[in-house]
Amino acid sequence: MTPREQWIAYATIVIKEITRFMRIWQQTLVPPAISTLLYFVIFGSLIGKRIGQMDGFDYMDFLVPGLILMAVINASYQNVVGSFFGAKWGKSLEELLVSPTPNSIILLAYVTGGVARGLLVGLIVTGISLLFTDLNVFSIGILISVAVLTAILFALGGFINAIFAKTFDDVSMVPTFVLLPLTYLGGVFYSIHLLGDFWQQLSKANPILYMVNAFRYGFLGISDVSLSVSFAMIGFFIVCFFALSLYLLTHSKRLRA
């Protein structure tokens, strides 16, 4: 395929992916809006007033970045795992596999679809947070780059999950048993300075901590961890996940007999 033909194939898949999640917006866009609304009401407004300050900021202001990023993580992951597994399960993936579209383009397009949903949900959640607090932006460049990179990483994660998954249960397994605990323990709700030494060190083994802190830095200008370590870590995982995804897409017995 010529580069132009590859571009057309890429755009076709991306448009299809975006059309898909927009068509089922009640399942893709509304639930994260509702759940973050509840988080804001309960943790931000009701309990937050009693918590007072966290790292020198109102608890609500501390909480917002983490909740936005949590929504981005979930949305980008869910989009790719749902769509790609659905296509595999319903066999419509064969439409792509029999075509000359290179695997790298298929992967990039699915990831782009996941990033699109992740960022859209992130924007929706940001909009909702404005009902509760004024957001100060410390560095828009950092905010956008962390959001985009994190969305890419978790879209790739969803892709890998989809290739391995055999049933719809396998699709919800990782979000429930891996993503949820890692985000909850990843400094979304608290600063790791509140923890004892041991737990602080253990938390630092959680990659999501670095993303949440880097993202919070974009709003507040504070972080529990070094910013460059955060970017290096996200970049490292993206490279690994991309390579693994591409390998699986080409060789996995779960896609080709």
Partner 1 sequence: MEFALKTTQLSKTYGNGVTALQNVDLAVPQGDFYALLGPNGAGKSTVIGVLGSLVIKTSGRVEVFGVDIDNNFPQAKSFLGVVPQEFNFNIFETPLQIVRNQAGYYGIDRRTALARTEQYLTLLGLWEKRNDQAGQLSGGMKRRLMIARALVHEPRLLILDEPTAGVDIEIRRSMWDFLREINRSGTTIILTTHYLEEAEHLCRNIGIIDSGKLVENTSMRELLRQLHLETYVLDLEQPLATIPVGLDRAARLIDPTTLEIDIKQEEHLNDFYRLLSDNGIRVNSMRNKANRLEELFISRVGHSPLEGK
- For partner 1, which is the closer residue by CB, 193 or 251? 251
- For partner 1, which is the closer residue by CB, 9 or 220? 9
CB of 255 to partner 1, least distance (A): 8
Number of residues interacting with partner 1: please give it, by CB under 8 A: 29
- For partner 1, which is the closer residue by CB, 193 or 254? 254
131 and 39 Cβ atoms separated by less than 8 Å: no
Cβ neighbours for 235, distance < 8 A, ≥ 6 positions apart? 149
224 and 205 Cβ atoms separated by less than 8 Å: no
From CA 89, how far away is CA 16, in angstroms rounded?
17
Interaction between residue 177 and partner 1 (CB under 8 A): no
CB of 160 to partner 1, least distance (A): 20
Tell me the residue type at 135. Answer: L
What number of other Cβ atoms are within 10 A of residue 177's Cβ? 10
State which of positions 193-252 bind partner 1 (CB under 8 A). none
Select from 20, 35, 220, 248 the least CA-distant residue to 133: 220
From CA 44, how far away is CA 59, in angstroms rounded?
7
Site string for partner 1, 79-118 (x = CB under 8 A): -------xx--xxx-xxxxxxxxx----------------
- For partner 1, which is the closer residue by CB, 50 or 253? 253
Tell me the residue type at 178. Answer: V
CB of 170 to partner 1, least distance (A): 19
- For partner 1, which is the closer residue by CB, 125 or 162? 162
The neighbouring-strand residues paired with 54 are 57
From CA 232, how far away is CA 137, in angstroms rounded?
23
CB of 158 to partner 1, least distance (A): 18
**Residue ranges in contact with partner 1 by CB under 8 A:** 1-2, 4-6, 8-9, 11-13, 16, 19, 86-87, 90-92, 94-102, 253, 256-257
